[in-house]
Amino acid sequence: MKHVIIGTAGHIDHGKTTLIKALTGRETDTLKEEKDRGISINLGFTYFDLPSGKRAGIIDVPGHEKFIKNMLAGISSIDVVLLVIAADEGIMPQTREHLEILQLLNVKKGIIVLTKADLVDDEWIDMIKGDIKKEFEGTFLKNAPIHEVSSKTKSGFGALTEDIEKLTSEVNPKDTEGHFRLPVDRVFTIKGFGTVVTGTVISGRVKVGDNIEIYPSKIITKVRGIRIHDEPCEIGEAGQRCAINLANIKLEEVSRGNVIAKENIMEPSYNIDCNLYYLRSAEKPLVNRQRVRLYHGTEEVLCRVIILDKDELKPGESGYVQLRLEKQITAQRNDRYVLRSYSPMFTIAGGSIIEPVAKKAKRFDEKYIEELKIKESGKSESILENVINQLSNTYPNKANILKSLGKNLENIDEKIEELVENKIIIELKASENNIYVHKEFLKNKINIIEEKLVEFHKINPLKFGMSKEEIKSKVFGKALKQKNYDEILNLLQDRNIIKVTAKFVSLFNFRVEYNKEQQRIKETLLKSYKETKYNCPKYSDLALNEKDKSNFKMVFESLLDQELLVKLNEECIIEKGNYDKAKIMLKEYIKKNGSISASSTRDLFETNRKYAVAMLEHFDGIKFTKRIENDRILY
């Protein structure tokens, strides 16, 4: 079912609240101060049963310039506006400002309602209509119907209701299949129930029992109950005014301006990238780093405007900006916003959000601005590819991608799969949740690996390669899980880019090649360690007899890398053949005798206690043996 929200707008004391009461029979001014002063201060809410039986939500906004903040909190979610103008006064300052705000928020449909028509004659009405047509030329209300009504005599309401019915039927259906999201406009408590928030559901649906998240605080809560137009409901959908009872939430934990939404789908941010239209009515140019007031959803935030593509914006110009906020907001791509000057407060600009979680941008960065244009274009595949490209260094899964998209993207699974099939995106499946990186990101990492390995092989020609952990730390960082890192290494090995062993990474075509002198040292070392079996000499003692200390060290380390020599500890080293025999001898002894002591190990290998203990501790470390008090058993 299609749901519609109708909102009022217009200058103070032009009869907005009285109009709503005449249409619905209900009063929207509920505060004592509002009734005493005869003006709307806060938002008013009710509903309107149309002749077709369809029920529309109604938001009545204050018209006083001091309460524009409240007006913006309500008007941001409407589908149809009733722009109210008192026939006896005509167009006034807040009429113009409200119209500018409606334009900036991209409201498409509206009706102009001339109230207090009983106070003026027909000639005056015609003059006011002429003023309206002239004033509203070039706006979305240029061809809007104009209705003369009198709340006192009840004249004109039949025709007005017919046009309201007509316009509401033309409103496009809301995105009920997207992620649930509701900007909070009121918070209160009800005895016996606890904290209640109200607002207009702007996308998705919510059910009693759902887990939801309060943004930007990221507090998780549960929906205890839902009321729509004072009636209990199980489900609230996009386009409906809802009161939601939150479980285990204190009144101070949620406020107007917060967003409640499906958990873990959005990310609060201090920086948002936007397109911006600077109003023609602005008195002076918008300068870089100007402090302004941002109105988004039901939130007001102070921020500074970083103009990305121009020195300044003159009245009537558009540009790309980054808004750097003084407190976090939670937005989604394509959300509309309004800017007002810091002081005195006037509406000056607005537009749509392109990147809701932006990194700090440099001005006049052509690449960055081009990326904004791609995102602004709305081509889902391009946007998705660009988002994954930007997130690749964080190794995102689908949940991370959705959160960064800032908007529920239709058929996202199919679009990701298509990008993977076209080899634009690389899918890594080793971890619990598949992660996705852009081909350019991987290409860049490959280049870095190759550069590091070329340099490493040049300096260390007899080492098999860099350690796997060093490559991971220097190239991929801590964010990449070990399983996915191994998956990337295997992928690069399959592409004949690198070779991988248990410990090392080398270029695919690299081979350890000894010159004549190095070959001699290699043979001498292996012979010495082989013949001395389990009483091998210290490296330092062997090195004393060699004149070429540099070559000797390189050859020795290469034999360790290739595991032709096995290091038990810093002082005890065994030739690989002897090492393998030691494992067999140890296994057979323990099987026969049940366990082995350090002294028995010493006797078995005809060595000293130092080597015996080193062997046992090494085999404990690789889980070949296990220590039980002073003896070892097989692991």
- Identify whether residues 348 and 387 lie together within a single domain: no
Share of the chain above pLDDT 70, in %: 95
Q: Which of 348, 370, 392 is the last residue of a domain?
A: 370
Return the CATH number at 607. Answer: 1.10.10.10
- Identify whether residues 31 and 162 lie together within a single domain: yes
- Residue 64's pLDDT band (cuts 50, 70, 90): low
- Say what the pTM is: 0.67
Give the β-pairing of 109-115 and 146-148: parallel
- Identify whether residues 280 and 360 lie together within a single domain: yes
Residue 396 lies in a domain: yes
What is the C-alpha separation between 198 and 182, in angstroms, rounded?
Answer: 8
- Residue 99's pLDDT band (cuts 50, 70, 90): very high
Residue 231 lies in a domain: yes
- Residue 300's pLDDT band (cuts 50, 70, 90): very high
Return the CATH number at 220. Answer: 2.40.30.10
Give the pLDDT of residue 35: 42
pLDDT tens sequence across 594-618: 999 999 999 999 999 999 999 999 9
User: What average pLDDT does the segment 1-11 reach?
Assistant: 85
Q: What is the DSSP letter of 553?
A: H
Give the pLDDT of residue 285: 96
Give the pLDDT of residue 174: 80
List of residues 6+ apart from 371 with CB closer than 8 A: 386, 390
What is the C-alpha separation between 521 and 457, in angstroms, rounded?
Answer: 20
Give the pLDDT of residue 38: 44
- Identify whether residues 160 and 201 lie together within a single domain: no
Check pLDDT > 70 for residue 406: no
pLDDT tens sequence across 140-194: 999 999 999 998 888 999 999 999 999 998 988 887 767 899 999 999 999 888 9
What is the C-alpha separation between 312 and 184, in angstroms, rounded?
Answer: 34
Strand partners, 233: 226
Give DSSP secondary structure letters for 186-212.
EEEEETTTEEEEEEE--BSEEETT-EE
What is the C-alpha separation between 83 and 168, in angstroms, rounded?
Answer: 15
CA atoms within 13 A on the CB side of 624: 17
Give the pLDDT of residue 551: 84
> Phi first, then psi: what are they for 40, rounded to 5°?
-80, 135
Nearest alpha-carbon partner for 178 in 79, 57, 273, 265: 265
Sign, CA torsion 571/572/574/580: negative
- Identify whether residues 39 and 151 lie together within a single domain: yes
What is the C-alpha separation between 388 and 416, in angstroms, rounded?
Answer: 10
> Hey, how many other C-beta atoms are within 10 angstroms of the C-beta on 450?
15
- Identify whether residues 503 and 541 lie together within a single domain: no
Looking at per-residue confidence, does 377 or 614 come out higher? Answer: 614
Residue 326 lies in a domain: yes
- Residue 409's pLDDT band (cuts 50, 70, 90): low
Nearest alpha-carbon partner for 346 in 101, 41, 130, 108: 101
448, 497 contact by CB (below 8 A): no
Number of domains within the chain:
5
Q: Give the range of the structural domain holding residue 54, as residue numbers without chain letter.
A: 5-170
Q: Which of 370, 402, 435 is the last residue of a domain?
A: 370
What is the C-alpha separation between 139 and 137, in angstroms, rounded?
Answer: 6
What is the C-alpha separation between 612 and 608, in angstroms, rounded?
Answer: 6
Report the SS3 class of residue 329.
strand
Give the pLDDT of residue 203: 87
> Hey, how many other C-beta atoms are within 10 angstroms of the C-beta on 41?
15
User: What average pLDDT does the segment 253-263 reach?
Assistant: 94
Give the pLDDT of residue 411: 67
- In the chain, the largest separation of any two C-alpha atoms, in whole Å, equals 122
- Identify whether residues 109 and 131 lie together within a single domain: yes
- Identify whether residues 385 and 454 lie together within a single domain: yes
What is the C-alpha separation between 36 and 40, in angstroms, rounded?
Answer: 10
Structure tokens at 514: 């000894």
User: What average pLDDT does the segment 569-592 reach?
Assistant: 93
Q: Which of 226, 241, 262 is the last residue of a domain?
A: 262
Residue 150 lies in a domain: yes
- Identify whether residues 527 and 433 lie together within a single domain: no
Give the pLDDT of residue 448: 94
Structure tokens at 55: 């029920």
pLDDT tens sequence across 330-371: 998 889 999 999 988 899 999 999 999 999 999 999 999 998
- Identify whether residues 593 and 615 lie together within a single domain: yes
Return the CATH number at 125. Answer: 3.40.50.300
- Identify whether residues 18 and 133 lie together within a single domain: yes
- Identify whether residues 423 and 456 lie together within a single domain: yes
